[in-house]
Structure 1
Amino acid sequence: MATVSLLSVSVAILSIFVVVSGQFASFNKLELPPGVSSPESAAFREFLLFTEGPYTTVFDGRIMKWQGPNVGFVDFAYTAPGRNKTLCDGTTDPDMGRTCGRPLALSFNPTTGRLYIVDAYYGLLVVGPTGGPALQLSGGYKFLIGVDVDLITGNVYFSDASLTYDIGDIRRPGFKPDSTGRLLRYNPIAKRVDVLHTGLSGGGGPAVSRDGTFVLLPEATGNRISKYWLAGPKVNKLELLLNNNGSPNKIKRAGLFGEFWVALSVGFMPPTPLITPLGVRFNSDGVVLQTVSFATQFFNKSITLVQEQNGKLYVGSRLTNFIGVYSN
């Protein structure tokens, strides 16, 4: 079973709150349609010299695509079989998830244009470049929460938050998280799912390195980020990379090779009088390079996504009706 190394933890603790002033000071909103909320994940489709998106998951079970300021977000895909638009569109009822779907994370395969989706109720799914109903690839999970595609092999790495509780249990009085989360891998050629690591504390979105040698794992309730090696002398081993003073959610590759962004909510686990939402940029050695606060526009709100695209930061939260866009 995997082993844990404490290398680079002390550096990370000392530098986690280093704020680079004057960065990403300009703010704009990409607003969802009226009544639609919870854009907690996003993905961009890159092909040739063009970029499409962001595509985002929303509370009522849809994946929506940004078509520019004159059009806004439009329907792209959905995860629930036979989803009824009249019944589901705009719903805010958490008990409608099994009927309408609850997609939580997205990742494109840039070569094929296929969009991989994890849904809290419907498992791992995929949809083609034209959208529509997503095809379930693997089901039977309690609470899938994150997904990322290996840019080299096309393998899909995804994570579940728990083997014992689902997304509905989180809002119940007296809820206590456990440490039964897992890292899984789907091979699209063999159509097989392998369990790579168990015992994760809470969910988040994994991120595969650009060279495919490791995958980063955030543990939202464990307040840490680990590195699981996919190749090299440490293959199949887990090492602790960052001890966070806050709850890490989705991790995304940054613009520069070997760098990443993580959405961090300080005060979220356990709750304090005020939650501080941060974007933290770090490298593959666990050295924090930049910390950006989003406390003004996301006051007292936890965030789930910080994604860099074309020099801008796209910030998502399950508690808003917009994606925040920060630029220099």
Structure 2
Amino acid sequence: MARRWIRPRRWSPPALAPGEPAAPLRVLYTLPTGGHGPEDVVFDADGRMITGLADGRIVRIDPANGDRTVLAETGGRPLGLHPGADGGVLVCDHDRGLLRVATDGTVEVLVDTVDGEPLTFASNVVEAPDGTIYFTSSTTRWNLDDHLGDVFEHSCTGRLLQRDPSGAVTVLLDGLKFANGLVLAADGLSLLVAETAGYRIQRYLLDGPRAGTTEMLVENLPGFPDNLWLGSDGLIWAGIAAPRDRLLDRLLPLPGFLRLLVWNLPVAFRPGAVPIAWVMAFDPTGRIVHDLRSSDGSYGFVTSAAEHNGTLVAGSLTRDDIAILATP
């Protein structure tokens, strides 16, 4: 049942600009995960995929033959992942916060509160060479099952956070529009942060005279950017969960009670995700290098895309399998 306490905030999204024609996305084959909802798919140093499943398992899968190994069970719902240099895995767990999975499967809670409040909806994570961990929290108001409520409400309660090697946690940015995917730039001087409900990816500067400020990498995207991954090809890969919804874009600048009415309609009458498989890739300046889409039903609701040495894969919150894609 739809929640009735939505508190809409008005926002005028940029008018959707015409773009270049998309190229076809082609699924070569899919690999079962042994569970459901591989929301984020990443590669370890050996080219094996790692993903988290709805039942709490962290699974490693060989893309060549599909062999699976369960690395750990978090006891929650893992979302964004980062393979550590020591062979462990950092995990943003929706239910438990920021976790570290050791090579023996031990699960350690690194952050579960921020400024005395529970860490909610931990979303994506990266680690710098000095051991500093950066991670996002999508919203303080909604949970995963009702995440579309945040898109309707436009709560702007997403955050970018830092955990330094001593364990101290700092909020670097707040007020983000459903903070989601996160990567450390190849030069280590900035972070790239996807704002799913803002249709954009920001750059947060870590060094230099403008450290602590932001600039836009790419904005006015035609879809909802989700998890990000820095490929071995030097590109920033993004899963695009769905195209923007024209009705929602029209409602966002209008008085909030209109969104409240629409949110409380039966699900079939509300704006929803169009069934499409979609990934994009950007160069370090934000130029679109690849825009790959397919609506043939071979895959859908892509929440992550990752490339490693020519292997391109996609994960999905709503699927049981991982898609191996044709490299453009």
Aligned counterpart, 1:91: none
Question: Residue type of the partner of 2:303?
Answer: T
Q: Where do residues 112-261 of structure 1 align in structure 2 (5 Å cutoff)?
A: 112-130=86-104, 132-139=105-112, 140-150=118-128, 152-170=129-147, 176-187=153-164, 189-243=165-219, 244-257=221-234, 259-261=235-237
Change (3 A) 1:273 1:195: closer
Question: Residue type of the partner of 1:303?
Answer: V
- Shift of residue 126, structure 1, vs aligned partner: 0.3
- Shift of residue 222, structure 1, vs aligned partner: 1.3
Counterparts of 1:273 and 1:319 in 2: how far apart (Å)?
11
Change (3 A) 1:71 1:240: closer
Aligned counterpart, 1:96: none
Question: Residue type of the partner of 1:136?
Answer: V
* Partner deviation per Cα, 1:6-51 (whole Å, 9 max, x = no partner): xxx99x9565x44346xx7461111122xx21011122221xxxx1
1:293 paired to 2:267: no
Counterparts of 1:294 and 1:287 in 2: how far apart (Å)?
21
Counterparts of 1:72 and 1:307 in 2: how far apart (Å)?
19
Change (3 A) 1:174 1:223: closer
- Shift of residue 268, structure 1, vs aligned partner: 5.6
Query: After the TM superposition, which of the residue ranges 277-286 and 165-174 deviates more from structure 2?
Result: 165-174
Partner of 2:44: helix, strand, or coil?
Answer: strand
Aligned counterpart, 2:254: none
Question: Residue type of the partner of 1:253?
Answer: L
Contact 1:18 1:290 in 2 (8 A): no
Which runs of 5 or more residues in structure 1 are unaligned?
Answer: 1-8, 81-100
- Shift of residue 171, structure 1, vs aligned partner: 6.7
Counterparts of 1:248 and 1:71 in 2: how far apart (Å)?
27
- Shift of residue 218, structure 1, vs aligned partner: 0.6
**TM-score, structure 1 as length reference:** 0.78
* Partner deviation per Cα, 1:205-238 (whole Å, 9 max, x = no partner): 2111122111111111111111111112321111
Partner of 1:236: helix, strand, or coil?
Answer: coil
Counterparts of 2:189 and 2:277 in 1: how far apart (Å)?
30
Partner of 2:159: helix, strand, or coil?
Answer: strand
Change (3 A) 1:174 1:31: closer
Task: Among all aligned residue pairs of Structure 1 and Structure 2, give the percentage whose two residues are the same amino acid.
Answer: 25
Change (3 A) 1:69 1:282: closer
Change (3 A) 1:221 1:297: same
Q: How many residues align?
A: 284
Partner of 1:221: helix, strand, or coil?
Answer: helix
Pick aligned residue for 2:67 from 57, 67, 72: 72
Change (3 A) 1:219 1:171: closer
Question: Residue type of the partner of 1:149?
Answer: E
Partner of 2:181: helix, strand, or coil?
Answer: coil
Contact 1:249 1:263 in 2 (8 A): yes
Which runs of 5 or more residues in structure 2 are unaligned?
Answer: 1-13, 113-117, 249-270
Change (3 A) 1:170 1:129: same
Change (3 A) 1:298 1:235: farther
Aligned counterpart, 1:42: 41
